[in-house]
Amino acid sequence: MDDYTLPFWIYLGVLTFFVAGAMKKILASHLSAAPALVAWLGATVLVERLWAFCLPAVLLLALLVLAFCIYSAARTGPPPTTLSAHGKAVFITGCDTGFGNAAAKHLDALGFEVFATVLDLSGDGARDLQRTCSPRLTLLQVDITQPQQVQQALLDTKAKLGLKGLWGLVNNAGVCVNFGDAELSLMSNFRGCMEVNFFGTLSVTKSFLPLLRQAKGRIVTISSPAGDQPFPCLAAYGASKAALNLFTNTLRHELEPWGVHVSTVLPSAFKTGQSSNHAYWEQQHKQLLQSLSPALLEEYGEDYVAETKELFQSHASQANPDLSVVIDTITTALLSPQPQARYYAGPGVGLMYFIYTYCPFGLSNRFLQSLFMKKQVMPRALRKQSGFNLDLSLHNNNNNEEKLK
């Protein structure tokens, strides 16, 4: 067995790849999963038999490369057909900036009749949409946390559509108002995230469902991997997105008999909203320090809070400014004949979910921490405790040495 240590690990990695691929095919399939399952399991058995004959690792890899080439060649051909945007109406929330603004422009250019909600009709985002989009686009001032404004938007949309239903609802509006550890975050931060990301989206979705059922349309919700995975210092935001993800998944099952497709888009890190605004992070940092009690600030320390701010700011500055991946994904979810339940938009998201799903908890947890918040500063109380323990250990060692003398 020792002679085959390297091939064994290669075999184990390949076997894991095939089994994971089979499960992904089953979970993502909207039709019968039998052909895909048979193909993947057959390939897995082939690898198993090759290993039984102890073929060299190089030959095994060569066979895998050949199989991949054959598979890729078999998949080449005309691109999959998509539905036409002509005559279809879509309602998008949160179009002042970011994904919503870019999606409204792109979908308008494709020929959709776009209803775009903004918080400020006189703001830069609204003026930008008015200047660049066609007369088909309708701007609506809506705060999705205000039921009266949501209902008014529904009435305005109905009046414009007439007897035609609504093809697409893009739930994009969202906020991330928390900053730092859960213990340091105000209750108002948790409530603020829930009000917009969950309750606001819930209100819009429930209000527009009759129009979506009428058209057998689509619901596309922009969520976050933070709703599925425990990102440090994102407890309030992640909890709201977790509630949103569960609601969306439940809605998918309930609306299937109505012919309404429900998709969730999970983007990686992109520059949107205030993320690249240095003054924004400084203001958040100042507000956090002012909100903490003296005792809690003493426990954590000003330097610990400052490092958190710097890490958030650094992460935001390194985010991708090109939003096209997410916009293309939204378009695909709206126009694909068989849209997927989930879309991973951006580099690294699929790998992150693979590690989180298939790797041991300890490994996936360390990967997540190293990926997002690489904290170096410990809370002040823990540093004092570590120093006390170190002094106590040195004192005990000195006493032991005195006894030996």
Count the neighbouring beta carbons within 10 Å of the beta carbon of residue 163.
Answer: 6
Half-sphere exposure of 394 (CA within 13 A, CB side): 5
Structure tokens belonging to residue 172:
């994009």
Q: What is the pLDDT of residue 398?
A: 54
Element (H, E) at 182: none
Other CB atoms within a 10 A radius of the CB of residue 260 amount to 20
Q: Containing H/E element for 3?
A: none
Q: How far is CA 353 from the centre of its chain?
A: 10
Is 185 in contact with 228 (CB distance < 8 Å)?
no
CA angle 134, 137, 143 (to 5 degrees): 145
Residue 76 is predicted with a pLDDT of 45
Nearest-CA neighbor of 218 among 113, 345, 114, 338? 338
Q: Domains in the chain, ordered, with CATH?
A: 2-75 (no CATH), 89-268+322-372 (3.40.50.720)
Q: Where are the beta strands (DSSP E) in 36-154?
A: 89-92, 113-118, 138-141
User: What b/e string do you get for 189-214 counting C-beta neighbours within 10 Å, with b at 16 or more?
Assistant: bbebbbbbbbbbbbbbbebbbebbeb
Check 237, 343, 353, 356 and give the catalytic one.
237
Of 182, 284, 295, 287, residue with least CA distance to 239: 182
pLDDT the model gives residue 397: 55
Q: What is the mean pLDDT of each run of 10 residues along the chain (405 residues)?
A: 54 61 51 50 58 54 61 52 92 96 97 96 95 96 97 97 94 84 90 96 98 97 93 91 97 97 94 70 81 90 86 78 93 96 90 82 76 80 72 51 51
> pTM value?
0.77
| Cβ atoms of residues 79 and 155 within 8 Å | no
What 3-state DSSP class applies to 265? strand
Nearest 5 degrees, angle CA 314-CA 319-CA 325?
A: 170
Q: Give per-residue burial for 306-324: e unless 16+ CB within 10 Å, then b.
A: ebbbebbbeebeeeeeebe
Could you tell me how far CA 283 lies from the centroid of its own chain? 26
In this predicted structure, what is the pLDDT of residue 288?
82
Annotated catalytic residue 358? no
Q: CA 194, CA 175: separation in Å to the nearest integer?
A: 9
Sheet of 218-222: strand order equals: 138-141, 113-118, 89-92, 168-171, 218-222, 261-267, 342-345
